[in-house]
Amino acid sequence: MRLSTKSRFAVTAMIDVALREDRGPVSLAAISERHHISLSYLEQLFSKLRQQGLVESTRGPGGGYSLARNAEKITMADIVSAVDLNADHEGATSGQADSWMSSDLWSSLNEKMLAHLKSITLRQLVSEQRAKGVTVEPVAPMIKRGVFAKPKAAPMRINAPNSVFALAASLVPTRG
């Protein structure tokens, strides 16, 4: 089991989606802005998360990603293995270092780390974030944008002459 930056970003993004699960789909652009993760990198991660059935996407205005199943049923191991192809292999060892004397040690360590990651649910991670005081920004009221939503301007009253003749007449003093 290898925990990479890719895994960290995926877990962070999944916590973000889970924190906002009651508000509908979360856009990758919003996650990118909040956590300073490249949008194209998030697109790659969420493609893998979607393929593994952890998130589902909604297209169109107000679209984005939402959890495909309950946060109680998504473990940290699910997220890590979805985005990191080497998560199920012993990435910590290489050729020479993986000798017969240490392979049992690495195998045992890998099993314990995998068991620990399987014991942590996304719901627990969200609860920890809320306990730390992380709040979700309030939902902004939807602003209707379109032809009919434009406010009507009050008619203007102009006290100016409407022609050259009226202008000339207004400049000539009246005799009385």
Q: Is residue 12 part of a domain?
A: yes
Q: Is residue 166 part of a domain?
A: no
Q: What is the mean pLDDT of residues 51-75?
A: 93
Closest by CA position to 21, among listed 128, 126, 141: 126
Q: Is residue 46 part of a domain?
A: yes
DSSP result, the chain: ----HHHHHHHHHHHHHHHTGGG--B-HHHHHHHHT--HHHHHHHHHHHHHTTSEEEE-STT-EEEESS-GGG-BHHHHHHHH-GGGGS-TT--GGG--TTTHHHHHHHHHHHHHHHHT-BHHHHHHHHHHTT--PPPPPPPPP-SSTTSPPPPPP---S-SSHHHHHHHHSPPP-
Examine the pLDDT at 69 and tell me if it is beyond 80.
yes
Range of the domain at 121: 5-93+100-131
Q: In this predicted structure, which of 23-32, 61-70, 107-116, 153-162 has the lowest mean pLDDT?
A: 153-162
Please report the sign of the dihedral spanned by the C-alpha atoms of residue 55, residue 48, residue 46, residue 5.
Answer: positive
Q: Is residue 157 part of a domain?
A: no
The answer to whether 30 and 46 are in contact (CB under 8 A) is no
* Band of residue 91 on the pLDDT scale cut at 50, 70, 90: very low
Whole-prediction pTM value?
A: 0.69
Q: What is the mean pLDDT of residues 138-142?
A: 63
Which of 98-119 are b and which e, b meaning 16 or more Cβ less than 10 Å from the residue's Cβ?
eeeeeeeeeeeebeebbeebee
Q: Is residue 165 part of a domain?
A: no
The residue ranking higher by pLDDT, 53 or 155, is: 53
Q: Is residue 175 part of a domain?
A: no
Q: What is the mean pLDDT of residues 25-54?
A: 94
Q: Is residue 18 part of a domain?
A: yes
Which CATH number belongs to the domain containing residue 41 in this structure?
1.10.10.10
Examine the pLDDT at 93 and tell me if it is beyond 50.
no
| pLDDT (0 to 100) of residue 81 | 92
| pLDDT (0 to 100) of residue 1 | 63
| pLDDT (0 to 100) of residue 99 | 62
| pLDDT (0 to 100) of residue 48 | 95
Q: Is residue 125 part of a domain?
A: yes
Examine the pLDDT at 101 and tell me if it is beyond 70.
no
Q: Tell me how many domains the chain contains.
A: 1
- Looking at every residue in the chain, the average pLDDT score rounds to 83
Examine the pLDDT at 143 and tell me if it is beyond 80.
no
